[in-house]
Amino acid sequence: MSVINFESTNCKNCYACVRACPVQSIKIKDEQAIIMEERCIACGLCLKACPKNVKKVETELEKVKSYLNKGEKVAISLAPTCFGVFDVSAQKICGALKKLGCFYVEETAVGALAVTNAYQKIQEEMEETCCITSCCASVNLLIEKHFPKLIPLLIPVLTPLMVHARLLKQKYGHETKVVFIGPCLAKKIEGEEDEFIDAVLTIEELIQWISEEHLDFDQVESMNLDATEQSQRTYPIVGGMSSCFTKRKKNIEIVPVDGIEDCIKVLEGIERREFENCFFEMSACHHSCIGGPAIGDKEVNIFKRKMRIKKYRELNDPNQIPASQTYPLHVNVGRIFKNKYAPILQPSEKEIEQILNHIGKYSSADELNCGSCGYKTCRQKAIAVYNHMAEPSMCLPYMKHKAETYSHVIFDVTPSIILVVNHELTIVDMNPAAQRFFDITKDQAIELPISVFLEEEPFLEVMESKQDLVGLRLTLNNNQTTVIESIIRIEHQEVMLCILHDLTEEIRHEEHLQRLKINAIDMAQQVINKQMIVAQEIASLLGETTAETKVTLTRLKELIQENEV
């Protein structure tokens, strides 16, 4: 089940989620961050890191509401962290939940007692080995998906929620819907996999639910929890589980570990056999469960939460009888963990080199390892590209260099004259074409007023109107040069880009062509005139010859006629 992901949106090239993910479970495709379910441990760090807050968490709030609308009985397993988030009594929270329609409300700590007893027995029987607690759903996923060799060291015991869910089904009937409320996203995966858990809500979703129903704690009736277990209320703070032990084995070191980074370091150390006789109490969240990822936007200060939990732990309500005295704990707490390892393909050195070359890294000196792509090293990023988890364009230094290279080439080789002018109307940059045109070096031109080269009025007009000026025809150098001037505002940099297109040669070329055309016309007219004269002379000669012929032939005719007579 994919419980978390990101809304469909461009990620703006920040890669904050990739940097935050401790197990490389996020891939970038078409600039969109996508969580890879087969690697995700649902720690929620990526959602906290996202600056756009485009998180998408699978919610079961509507499912819970549908249970209530159908008249089904809902039993709430309430995580102790809730009592650190809300600044009201447990009785008020219980009253609010029953006002929302829930039939039963119990502390998850009720199930924690059986877990504590199982853990205590294990640490008492330990011999020169290490073991890892299995209370934290994220840690369990971390080991199953990324450290499968350590599964034998993961204590095969159900989580407090799993135990409590079974107890609730036994107590209120299997048709009762068991709903957990806590600060954890990984519990949603746990709830999906465990048949005894019908739905999982986060504290954030509970706050949303209370808001939607316009509930005011001041107007809510205080009600006792249906079951509680005072001795187990410290579970959500660092070392809180082991503090519930009534006795400890002297040669066993109980080591609380909080925060996913430290958990990973310890697990790596265990793989290297750096520890022995250690009982590791692990929690993926920094500060343990009270630092969970799904507490809501209006989070109470972490230390304030811790103080409230400790105060609640010490609170002894004479009206509340411990659950261990009200119903027996008939639950098999055993559990089997699975190998869910999803390895990343390892490319060859040649393949890594090819990928690095593609993003302009041809030597170790080119590998900046800046982390802007979200990966700690360029080689890690190359491996991610090979596994289709990252895109080459995620390398920001390379893309910046590429963009600058292209822009500088265009700026340097374009025949157009380009000047960059600030709002004080002084030169801040000019390209080589401008230097040749004005016969000045860039160093000499920098900080000179634009009036040295061009009229100020068009620039002032652009600044006042905030409208670009395009296609203004000017003559410069005592009317010897004609240019087309365009002034473009670059507002976010507070400069104006002046582009001059020199038309002088084009005009000269057009004038030359015009002269050639006129000369050609004159020459054609001369040829025509000469042809007309020749034609007239030919016609005159033909006329005289024809007349003489006529006279001769007529005379010949007359002579013939005379001879016949």
User: Please, which residues bridge with residue 131 across strands?
Assistant: 279
**What is the reported pLDDT for 563?**
63
Is the pLDDT assigned to residue 564 strictly greater than 70?
Answer: no
Which architecture, in CATH terms, is 1-57?
2-Layer Sandwich (3.30)
Token output for 268? 């790596």
**What is the reported pLDDT for 406?**
62
* Residue scoring higher pLDDT (494 or 381): 381
Phi and psi dihedrals of 24, rounded to 5?
50, 55
According to DSSP, the β-strands at 417-422 and 495-502 are: antiparallel
**What is the reported pLDDT for 250?**
78
Domain 414-502 sits in which CATH superfamily? PAS domain (3.30.450.20)
CA gap 188, 161 in Å, rounded:
11
Long-range contacts of the stretch 67-72 (C-beta < 8 A, 24+) = 67/177, 67/179, 67/198, 67/199, 68/100, 68/101, 68/102, 72/175, 72/176, 72/177
How many Cβ atoms sit within 10 Å of the Cβ of residue 69? 10
**What is the reported pLDDT for 389?**
92
Q: Is the pTM of this model over 0.85?
A: no
**What is the reported pLDDT for 403?**
67
Q: How many CA atoms lie within 13 A of 431 on its CB side?
A: 18
**What is the reported pLDDT for 216?**
93
Within the chain, which residue ranges are assigned CATH 3.30.70.20?
1-57
User: Mean pLDDT in the chain?
Assistant: 88
Contacts of 303 (CB under 8 A, 6+ apart): none
Q: How confident is the model at residue 55 (pLDDT cuts 50, 70, 90)?
A: confident
Q: How confident is the model at residue 10 (pLDDT cuts 50, 70, 90)?
A: low
- How does pLDDT run across 164-203, given as a tens digit for each residue? 999 999 999 999 999 999 999 999 999 999 999 999 999 9
**What is the reported pLDDT for 374?**
86
**What is the reported pLDDT for 405?**
65
- Hunting for tokens 């009785």 — which residue is that? 91
CA gap 104, 198 in Å, rounded:
14
* Residue scoring higher pLDDT (477 or 75): 75
How many Cβ atoms sit within 10 Å of the Cβ of residue 516? 10
Percent with pLDDT over 90 in the chain = 57
Within the chain, which residue ranges are assigned CATH 3.30.450.20?
414-502
Is the pLDDT assigned to residue 399 strictly greater than 70?
Answer: yes
What angle is formed at CA 274 by the lines to CA 270 and CA 277, rounded to 5 degrees?
80
* Spatial contact of 143 and 337, defined as CB atoms under 8 Å apart: yes
116 three-class SS: helix
- Hunting for tokens 């070329």 — which residue is that? 509
- How does pLDDT run across 321-342, given as a tens digit for each residue? 777 777 776 789 999 999 999 8
**What is the reported pLDDT for 298?**
58
- How does pLDDT run across 201-235, given as a tens digit for each residue? 999 999 999 999 999 999 999 999 999 888 888 99
Q: What is the mean pLDDT of residues 487-507?
A: 86
- Hunting for tokens 């365009």 — which residue is that? 486
**What is the reported pLDDT for 312?**
85
Token output for 333? 């707490």
Q: What is the mean pLDDT of residues 510-533?
A: 78
- How does pLDDT run across 424-477, given as a tens digit for each residue? 999 999 999 999 999 999 889 999 999 999 999 999 999 999 999 998 988 888
Q: How confident is the model at residue 152 (pLDDT cuts 50, 70, 90)?
A: very high
Percent with pLDDT over 70 in the chain = 96
